[in-house]
Amino acid sequence: MKKYAFGVDIGGTTVKIGFFETNGNLLETWEIPTRLEDNGGHILEDIKCAIEGKCKENQLEVSDLEGIGMGIPGPVGQDGTVYTCINLGWPTFNVVKEMESIMGCKVRVGNDANVAALGEMWQGGGKGHHSIVMVTLGTGVGGGVIINDQIVCGFNGAAGEIGHILTKLDETECCACGNKGCLEQYASANGLVKLTKKYLKENNSDSLLRNMDSFTTKDICSAAKDGDEVANLMIDTIAEMLGRGCALIGVVVNPEAFIIGGGLSNAGSQIIDPIQKYFKKYAFYAMKETSFKKATLGNLAGIYGAVKLILE
């Protein structure tokens, strides 16, 4: 195996790039803008230029690389085909073939959430495991499923969409996906704030949050630590939804561990412990002791996982 590789995590605003040794040592990371004009037609060429520039800085040729791994914010098939990436403006096309043709080295790609899960299993909170489910509690609720060291991407790359588990049958508002009652509508950062505002509007309960013109998930978690009953109720409410959702996932894929990431995971045991409590309540008896752990790589998980794709 060659000594160096690059991991690339493509986002709607920036592209994060990591220069790695193939033993997992991250040497350098930087970002370039994601150019969305012309339906994202410049993105791959910009990545090529960035990687070639970094190789030149380090007196390397592209032929010295083990390869380039890439996480992409959309459904990705096992052969490297992206099935329309709305955030980037990409139609359906095979990114591996396109990138290999312009780079002249091995390229592997995957859905960004799945790739982040792979990174956490390789060098993060899931290290030492071979089968994990990563649940990312950010603006939405993302997920990635790794079973026996292999990403489960599904028939057309849509596996692991944990945020769109049906959670409430009586919901009247639509999720961004077009359905109603998705887990993401409640258990994401946006969802928790919205759920809390709705509760305060419909109830007269005293709360530290009521005196704020606006508040964030961080404010809710802080209020909960200070004993605020409303804040604690809201955290408990989404924890039950997440615990029940993980129990549904568990009975299908039976992971060794659930890795909880995203901004809400910064609350640590305050959010992870009640999720695990409700998981145990709802889980099939043979998997009640499945462990729950905090993700540790933060926004670097994607570039770690992208490199791991190359090493598979």
Q: What DSSP letter does each residue of the chain carry, written as one string?
A: --SEEEEEEE-SSEEEEEEEETTS-EEEEEEEE---HHHHTTHHHHHHHHHHHHHHHTT--GGGEEEEEEEESS-B-TTSEE--BTTTTB-SEEHHHHHHHHH-S-EEEEEHHHHHHHHHHHHSTTTT-SSEEEEEESSSEEEEEEETTEE---SSS-TT-GGGSB--TT--SBPTTS-BSBTHHHHSHHHHHHHHHHHHHH-----GGGG-SS--HHHHHHHHHTT-HHHHHHHHHHHHHHHHHHHHHHHHH--SEEEEESGGGGGTHHHHHHHHHHHHHHS-GGGTT-EEEE--SGGGHHHHHHHHHHH-
Question: What are the structure tokens assigned to 4, written together?
Answer: 């160096």
* Residue-level pLDDT at 164: 94
Q: What is the pLDDT of residues 78-97, one digit of tens each?
A: 899 998 888 899 999 999 99
* Reported CATH class of domain 4-121+300-311: alpha beta
Q: What is the pLDDT of residues 171-215, one digit of tens each?
A: 999 998 899 999 999 999 999 999 999 999 999 999 999 989 899
Domain with CATH 3.30.420.40 in the chain: 4-121+300-311, 128-295
Contacts 24+ apart (CB under 8 A), 212-220: 216/189, 217/189, 217/192, 217/193, 217/263, 217/264, 217/267, 218/266, 220/192, 220/193, 220/196
Please report which confidence band the pLDDT of residue 225 belongs to, taking 50, 70 and 90 as the band edges: very high
pLDDT surpasses 90 at 144: yes
Please report which confidence band the pLDDT of residue 154 belongs to, taking 50, 70 and 90 as the band edges: confident
Question: What are the structure tokens assigned to 177, written together?
Answer: 């996906």
Q: pTM of the entire structure?
A: 0.89
Q: What CATH number is given for 128-295 in this structure?
A: 3.30.420.40
